[in-house]
Structure formats: C-alpha cells, structure tokens
Amino acid sequence: MKWIKGIAIILLSSLLLAGCSGGDNGGKDGQVTLELFSNKSESIETYKGLIKEFENQNPNIKIKFNSPPEAETVLKTRLTKNDLPDIMSINGNATFGELGRAGVLHDFTDDDAINQVQPPYVDMLNRLVGPDADGVYGLPYATNANGVIYNKTKFEELGLSIPKTWDDFIAALDKAKAAGEKPLMFTLKDAWTGLPMWNSLSGNLVGTDFAEKKNAGETSFQESYPAVADKALQLLSYSEGDVFGVGYGDGNNAFATGDGVMYLQGNWAIPEILKANPDAQVGMFALPVTNNADENKLVSGVDVVLAINENTKHKEEAMKFVEFMLSKEIAQRYIQEQAAFSAVNDVLQEDPVFEGIKTNFENGSIASFVDHYYPAGMGAENLIQDFYINKDKNAFLKKIDNEWDKVVNR
C-alpha cells in the first residue's frame, strides 16, 4: 500500500503548490491571469472596454478586474497580508507614497516606459514617496484638476465673464445671487466632495512644501492655514439649502439641469453632468484664489498611477499591459472617455469644455493637490467636512494639527 500513500503525498503536494500560486497561472494552454486593481469607480466601464481590447491582442493573458468600494482601505489591508494585486491603477496620493516606501512596487527607473510620461508628474509621485525615494515606483497616467465648473448659458444670461481674480470671482457670485440664482452648487454629504474647494485654495495659498515643513516642526495648520479657512467659509456663505444632505450624484444631476451657476469640483464630474444632460453647456476654469491674476494656478495632480507588484509572478505580462495603456491611441481614448488629462507625452485633451484651463497645462501654471501630501490615515476629508459644518476655524486648525501629529507619531 506504500505506492498508494506515495501517490497521495504527490497529489497533496501538487494541490498545496496550486494553492500557493494564488490561482494566477490561469490554467490551460499557458494562459496567465493578472489582477488589475482600480480605486476609481468612474473608470470601470472604460477599463472594461480596454481590457477586452488588450485580451483580444494578447489571447494568452486574462485580466481579472477588481474595483471594490473603499478601495484604498482594501489595498492597505492587502498590503499587510502581502497579497497585492499584479497591476494597480490607483490615485497619486499618500497611499501610493506608503506603497512606494514599503518596497513592494516595481521600480521603473530602467524601463523604456519612463520616457513616455511627463517628468513633472514623475517628480510629483517621487515627492509622495519621500526624500529617500531611490526609484520610480509608479508611472503617472491620467491627471486631473480641481476648479470651477460653470454653466455657460447662465454666464451669458447674467453677462458674466471668466473671473481672473478673487474679487472678480466674489463679484460674479454676488451678481448671480442678486439675480435670484444659486451662485454655488455644493454637495457636502460625501466628505471628499469638500476637498476640491480646499485643494484649490490651499494649492495657491499654502503649497506642497507644507507637509515637509509641518513634519520638520517649522509650521502648522494654525500658522499657515487661517486664510484658507477664511476663504472656504466665505465661499460656503454662497451655498443654499441643506448642502450636507446633497450627495455627489444628486448634485451632478441638479447642476446638469440648471440648478446652480457654478460648481466647485474636479473635471471628473463633467462626464457625469453630461451623462445626466447631454445638452448641458458647461465649461471649467481655475478658481482665482488671489488678486494677482498671474499668480493664480490650476490645482492638478496625478489621478491615476500605474504600478506593478514587485513580487508578481508575471512581471513580463504585467509590463505588457502597462505598455498597452501607454500607447498614444489607448491613452487618448482613456482621457476622452474620462474627460481627464494625460501624463503620457503628446497626448492632449482637445475637448472644448476644457478651453478655460488648457492654457494652464500649456504654460505650466499648475499647483499640486495639497491633500495628497497629508499623512494617509488622517481622514482629512472628515475633519474638513466637520469644519464646514461647525465653522469654528480655531478649533478646527488646532484639531487638524493634533490629528496629523498623532498619525505621524504612531
């Protein structure tokens, strides 16, 4: 009966080996299965179409797409379990920085792919990883912008032109209010929707070196952010109704049907608005935060970073997918469908809806998303939402300082 026992051991060993492979060998005919993880619900349909095209071109590679709710939390949990996806399409924020520092991402330094993307956005990502970054752990793919989405029809009716200074912007809000219109659309039920206003103000008034200075004990929110908090409260005074009861989707739909003259959001809201009303006449411009028109910048950041798990068993195939995404035709298709901007060289967003911010990209009048440099796990969006509700500036600035320090000293 020894031979039966021997066969049993061989079978058990092969089953265990199959279990260890995480099922990523895909099975028959040498087919490989890769997991593509995305944190962006807006791009699910776009990715489904692109995956189909990639699989047609590469019949031996199957892409398993995963875009769960609370994606960043899921990703951090998987990091602790050493179970990262093969390919990640994630936001260029503190979570990416954390993964870069953890040494779990592929370093693109010596790959040709790095020459296909714009260096300023690579630098932005390297700053997220930190001063000790000794590699390039993600490729900037799609970029986005915060600003003011406006109803072109209402602007015409009210005789408004695109404001270039803070005083001009306030005057436009006053004019809209006097005409019985809702000057600003806010959707603050979802905490993150308060960030576009916060980032537009902070990116111009504070800057991204705040995080380094804060960690070095050279500044604080109480010292650097009073003007940001004051201007945020001033803009909130132009809201109407229970803005904390309005969700992002509801706000997009309402704005699409003419509710509100202006809307502080990101470019990602535009496809949602046009989905709700394809005839909506909308445009976008940078929030003019100061009274020096030449100093006002568009806040832009890396919306999508493409990263590869350093320990994937199928790096060659993963790289093939990344190269597919970087091809000009695919990069162009992505930004058209997503109403985004591209970090891929020579891939330009030509949609006339973005005419008002095109010059910012062309002349480099760009500031970075400040919240991308806040420590991961601080829950800044909830603290900011709480400030918008309670409007107690001093208590808020003190609290956000303390929360930052708690997370950093953990």
Region of poorest pLDDT, from 234-238, 356-360, 381-385, 396-400 = 356-360
Cβ partners under 8 Å of residue 219, min gap 6: 210, 213
Nearest residue to 65 via CA among 87, 83, 81: 87
36 residue type, one letter: L
End-to-end CA, the chain:
59
pLDDT digits (tens, 9 = 90+) for 215-268: 999 999 999 999 999 999 999 999 999 999 999 999 999 999 999 999 999 998
Compute the distance between CA of residue 358 and CA of residue 337 in angstroms, rounded to an integer.
18
Q: Which residues pair with 299 in a beta bridge?
A: 146, 367
Q: What is the 3-state secondary structure (H, E, C) of 88-148?
A: EEECCCHHHHHHHHCCCECCCCCCHHHHHECHHHHHHHHHHHCCCCCCCCCEEEEEEEEEE
Residue 313 pLDDT exceeds 50: yes
309 SS3 class: strand
* HSE, side-chain direction, 13 A CA sphere, residue 334: 28
> In this structure, what DSSP letter does residue 74 have?
H
Arithmetic mean of pLDDT, 73-101: 93
The band of 28, judged by pLDDT with boundaries at 50, 70 and 90, is low
Which two structure tokens, joined as six digits, stand for 214?
């804060």
Average pLDDT over residues 178-183: 97
One-letter identity of residue 191: A
Averaged pLDDT of the chain: 91
Please check whether residue 160 is in contact with residue 175, taking contact to mean a CB–CB distance below 8 angstroms. Answer: yes
The percentage of residues in the chain with a pLDDT greater than 70, rounded to a whole number, is 93
CA 235 to chain centre: 23
Tell me: the pLDDT tens digits for 333-364? 999 999 899 999 999 898 999 999 988 887 77
The SS3 assignment for 172 reads helix
> Alpha-carbon distance 123 to 102, whole Å?
18
pLDDT of residue 84: 96
Task: Give the sign of the dihedral formed by CA 361, CA 367, CA 369, CA 372.
Answer: positive
* Backbone dihedral angles phi then psi of residue 88, each to the nearest 5 degrees: -125, 135
Sorted by sequence, the CB contacts under 8 Å of residue 218 that are 6+ apart come out as none
Total length of the chain: 410
CA distances from 231 to 220, 374, 379, 380 (A): 18, 20, 21, 18
Tell me how far CA of residue 260 lies from CA of 149, 170, 253, 283, in angstroms.
10, 15, 11, 13
pLDDT at 23: 40
- Which tokens sit at 380? 């800044």
Other C-beta atoms within 10 Å of 285: how many?
A: 21
- Does the pLDDT at position 387 exceed 70? yes
Cβ-based burial of 300 (10 A; exposed 0-12, middle 13-18, buried ≥19) = buried
pLDDT of residue 29: 66
Average pLDDT over residues 35-56: 95
